[in-house]
Structure 1
């Protein structure tokens, strides 16, 4: 009897030992696997951080390193205007992005109005649009944004964060794309920086790991709410790019951010806008910059038919290319 008890106890001990040996082996394998995974993650992250350490932003690379995604940010803009429509069509038809990401605080991600409905009817364009929720920032590094300029200063911050999250091509809503922008997708970051001026934020083409982006965002630790363009343009130019111009591919003139170029769209009939890659329409500034503003305070598909200045031709091209005229006289 005693022998049977000892034999049973021995079997139980062996079973228990086998279980713990098996469990220990599994645990050791899992630990090894996790350590390998974390090591690989650290190596990938380190590799990404070093990715642009010696990158040449003058020559770029021989392949695309920026995703072919156009980002638009629409804060407090639930309705698409004619100009919004024209610029969206120009970006789509002249550049041909894989996707549009529209970042918006519009309730439910819904837009309204005749021109949005025209976009909805353009099935090829609409299939490339993703609408992503985004609230305008109200503070940065514990500093409240100027309430009067929250949507503007918040938009400046949001575009940096969007580029850091996704990479791609950021466009202001009133930027008209004239040429394909693929040549800029071979640089770490391409940004407008005209001679003798601060950088322009209307067009940003960047890899999400571009070294300049976190430095730019970090420069907001000294936020000046009372100065319109200090943090968006002046401070990063003076504090970062004057010292390290190699961090960006400097685009002069071609992004059409200079005031005089925009002014020509509404005043100079012989202006050669096709020589540019993009141009900022400055549509919200026409009331003080366009001497003929009172004659045409707004644009639509009918007004641009006979508008004699360059913007008229630009708009007419997109009206025709989009097939919009097929719907103009129809109830949408």
Structure 2
């Protein structure tokens, strides 16, 4: 498009004006503090796939490149402050996988990053720059069916992770999932989920393209069939028996490497010889302590002090991650 320069302006003055104008536009068009942080500089281009069919896509071999965005999603309903294990989980995902972004999905409208462990995160500029907060309404119903009052936020999180993955795609992690190795090898598949032999699927780690067929069917499976009185029916039992048993090709099946089994996780707190290193992820079971082995409950709250001398494998994991040693003097400014 051509435009005429008024005679009273020189071309040089117009050029200067355009530069200044662009600077002002750039400044004022930056996200406000409520939108939080800018995008990471090291995002990669994805292989674009809009639809998946049995004829065109194989979840055994996957795509030639990444099709799942390198975003890690956490859901935090009602509580946004971090505890020590939350910080450890975030740090492990950053160090061992390095996502482009961490999306924290919460129903808290005015988020504040308060507390010692958020301060630790802020002190790590590369980590802090990757964190964004997304508002996510905590569901009260699903397809017109009221959620359980007692389990509302737990069942709501089950639904929330499906909706988040359908909106963005990426890697969903429970707040107590410790990433041990990079998950990039799974990002070339339509949907990846832990499904052990003779077990229901494990929802603690889910990696999916936003147009995943299984994810869409999983949400649909709630229609006229939500069981408010059953803890894991809609999250694990029904999608396994009604979808995956009949159509296992809809996912890339992981057996064991996401550490979803309770019997696997309990080794972190009861078996000094347990080797966790071959796993890609392990569920720490931090939210299930009330009914677990009494030996686990001997240390009810982990922190940067007692982790230095914790004798079971979880102590080794955290000390390796944070580069701390039992004899090191604790610091209030960070590990």
- TM interval, shorter chain, is 0.7 to 0.9
Structure 2 counterpart of 1:185? 187
Task: Please tell me whether residue 96 in structure 1 is matched to residue 98 in structure 2.
Answer: yes
SS in 1 for 2:298: coil
Among 266, 281, 284, the alignment partner of 1:281 is 284
User: Aligned-pair distance for 1:328?
Assistant: 2.4
Contact 2:270–2:296 (Cα < 8 Å) also in 1: no
Structure number with bigger Rg: 1
Query: Hey, what does 2:213 align to over in structure 1?
Result: 211
Larger displacement relative to structure 2 (76-85 or 106-115): 106-115
Bigger Cα displacement from structure 2, 223-232 vs 56-65: 56-65
Task: Decide whether the 8 Å contact of 1:109 with 1:132 is kept in 2.
Answer: no
Pick aligned residue for 2:238 from 223, 235, 238: 235
Q: CA deviation at 1:48?
A: 2.3
Which protein is richer in helix relative to its size? Answer: 1
3-state SS of the aligned residue for 1:103? strand
Q: CA deviation at 1:320?
A: 2.3
CA distance in 2, matches of 1:99, 1:74: 16
- Checking the alignment, whether the CA contact within 8 Å between 2:305 and 2:330 is kept in structure 1 is no
Q: Is the 8 A contact 1:56 1:246 kept in 2?
A: yes
5+ unaligned residues in a row in structure 1: which ranges?
Answer: 1-46
SS in structure 2 of the partner of residue 48 of structure 1? coil
Q: Give 1:52 shift.
A: 6.3
**Deviation at 1:293?**
3.7
Structure-1 residue corresponding to 2:24: none
The answer as to 2:264 corresponding to 1:261 is: yes
Residue in 1 that maps onto 2:141: 139
Deviation at 1:327, TM superposition (A): 8.7
Q: Distance in 2 between matches of 1:229 and 1:112?
A: 33
| 1:279 counterpart SS class | strand
Q: Secondary structure of the residue that 2:79 maps to in structure 1?
A: coil
Give the aligned CA root-mean-square deviation in angstroms. Answer: 1.8
Q: What residue number does 1:272 align with?
A: 275
Paired position in structure 1 for 2:315:
312
CA distances 1:17-53 after superposition (whole Å, capped 9, x unpaired): xxxxxxxxxxxxxxxxxxxxxxxxxxxxxx8235665
Q: How far is 1:264 from its partner? A: 0.1
Q: CA deviation at 1:247?
A: 0.4
Distance 1:233 1:330 in 2: 41
2:133 aligned counterpart, secondary structure: strand
Cα gap change, 1:52 to 1:94, in 2 (>3 Å): farther
Q: 1:302 aligns with which of 282, 305, 308?
A: 305
Q: How many Å apart are 1:110 and its aligned residue?
A: 2.0
What is the TM-score with the length of structure 2 in the denominator? 0.81
SS of structure 2 residue aligned to 1:328: coil
In the comparison of the two structures, how many residue pairs are matched? 282
CA gap 1:264/1:327 in 2 versus in 1, 3 angstroms:
closer
Could you say which residue in structure 2 is the equivalent of 1:199? 201
Cα separation, 2, equivalents of 1:202 and 1:230: 15
State the SS of the aligned residue for 1:273.
coil
- Alpha-carbon distance, 1:289 to partner: 1.5
What per-residue deviation string (whole Å, max 9, x for no partner) do you get for residues 122-151 of structure 1?
111010011111121110001110011000
> Which residue of structure 1 aligns with residue 75 of structure 2?
73
